[in-house]
Amino acid sequence: MAPVSAMCSRFMSPRKILVTSALPYANAPLHLGHMLEQVQADIWVRFQRSRGHQCRYVCADDAHGTAIMLSAEKNGVSPETHIANIKALHEADSAGFGISFDNYYSTHSPENRAWSETIFRRLEANGHIAVRSVVQAFDEAKGLFLADRFIKGGCPKCKTPDQYGDNCEACGATYSPTEVLDPVSALSGTTPVERASDHLFFQLSAFQALLADWVDGGHLQVPIANKLREWIDAGLQDWDISRDAPYFGFEIPGYPDKYFYVWLDAPIGYIASHQNLCDRNGDDFDSYWQPGHDTELYHFIGKDIINFHGLFWPAMLASAGLRQPDAIFAHGFLTVDGTKMSKSRGTFIMASTYLEHLNAEYLRYYFAAKLSPNVDDMDLNLEDFVQRVNSDLVGKVVNIASRCAGFLRKRYDNRLSAVCSEPELIDGMISAGDSIAALYEARDFQRAMREIIALADRANQFIDDKKPWLLAKEEGREKDVQDACSVGINCFRVLMTYLKPVLPDMAEKSEAFLGLSLDWTALTSPLEDHTIDNFSPLIQRVDPESIAAMVDASKA
């Protein structure tokens, strides 16, 4: 990943960027933890577009696996119907939070089947697939081999109980289900028996040197690189990429009744979703996925799936002759009021429940105000949430427009002064855009918001010093009132341009009010002799009663 200074130097030449976020599993609606990731990625994407770059954002539902098959069976529908129903919910939730996907697809697609088979055949042709018999857990009560996630037991590395059969949430270790301590079937509660079955393995161990170089290549945040380096230094284990029938997914070509493990075709879903988009809009697909092109590829993910994206994925891409990502951006978990999200406390909040009670842009701003480039967990403190949104957005940013617009409407037919009376103030705010852009680029949204709100404080101080409400009472001060309010509107225009990646809906309303598009690249000089529209409220204050109602609706 290029350093921030190098990235900023490229702002003036258009870039071609492809962004993905992790694929939500098609087995349940989205919660606010999902929205943290999608909002983070969306802000970065919208920022890139505002700077004049071609930035595509694709995602998809992760639609395969035993869990999907069992849920469909429980609901009395086909797996295809089940995943279609969940996909509709996911798309509605994401749209409600203003997520600007260029394409939202599904891993259960013809493109993903074709790419999964193509990549597998390339791995096999390159000698990176091995077949060997493995002893698997078999649930005699259910009559099927147990996928890793349907075995619970103690982690063989750190001994933490009640962990899944493939990786430990406590220490991050990955392992075979046969290594789990005191295993039980999560489906029937019975103790599984052992049965032998032939499985296919991707020989990850062959990529020890390549992955060591990749991890040290600046593509990852430092804590993530350190964790992956630990796993590499401990010796990489070959990766089981097959599952036995019955299984909802793609059958492996040449191996009847063997199916691709969901984590094999899930990241390939990025490629498939992008191809589906390119087939519709005419983009050059190969320039993003074949090596040697001047395009950029970035993945936004949670830190809990870094082993798949930071080890398996780049190794698969290398063997298949495809380009590797420029960077993987991992984020931490979301807590609410200082603790893990809880249904009993009403803090396990579904995206749809939030949207029933609160404006999505409140949360977009709050996330931005707390997101840094680091991998730290983020806390949604509901009391701080109310105070931060009401103070910053309503009390500082919108307040500038509302204070000035009334005077311009009543006295000057909504016309700004012919000449800006404070060009130094406006030029200074426009000049601050370079440092704010560098912070956006580095995903340091927290500091970017602090700089933007500091500019809002400066604008409000200017208005307080000029006191147009007092000037309006004095004879012969009409021009001073118009000048002061025109400066205020110019300040608001700059602030909302900087906030547009975070607050797209509020920015759209502001564009209607200002009568222009809030384009970052158009911030070159103050607005002069310009007519605005009548001001309408852009966003309401957060009502604490709505917070309480949301929490109450979220309780189990």
Residue boundaries of the structural domains of the chain = 4-117+262-331, 129-206+218-244, 357-522
Q: What is the pLDDT of residue 4?
A: 37
Q: What is the pLDDT of residue 128?
A: 98
CB 2 within 8 A of CB 15: no
Tell which residue, 141, 250, 152, 260, has the closest CA to residue 200.
260
- 357-522: CATH topology: Isoleucyl-tRNA Synthetase; Domain 1 (1.10.730)
The residue with tokens 């597998």 is: 120
The residue with tokens 């094999």 is: 264
Alpha-carbon span 145 to 151, nearest angstrom:
10
- Residue 144, beta-bridge partner list: 139
3-state SS class at 429: helix
Q: What is the pLDDT of residue 12?
A: 56
**Tokens at residue 130, please?**
């091995």
Backbone angles phi, psi at 480, to 5 degrees: -65, -40
Alpha-carbon span 522 to 493, nearest angstrom:
11
b (16+ CB within 10 A) / e for 498-518: bbbbbbbebbeebbebbeeeb
Alpha-carbon span 323 to 220, nearest angstrom:
16
Please give the average pLDDT of every successive group of 10 residues along the chain, which has 556 residues: 38 86 97 98 97 97 94 96 98 98 98 98 98 89 82 92 88 85 90 92 97 97 97 94 94 97 97 98 97 97 96 98 98 95 92 98 98 96 98 97 95 96 97 98 98 98 96 92 98 98 98 96 94 96 97 91
- The CATH code of the domain at 4-117+262-331 is 3.40.50.620
Q: What is the pLDDT of residue 213?
A: 97
Complete DSSP assignment for 3-29: -HHHHHHTTTS--EEEEEEPPPBTTS-
CB 305 within 8 A of CB 164: no
**Tokens at residue 387, please?**
């105070």
pTM for this prediction: 0.92
Tell which residue, 217, 462, 169, has the closest CA to residue 318.
217
Q: Which CATH architecture is the domain 129-206+218-244 placed in?
A: Beta Complex (2.170)
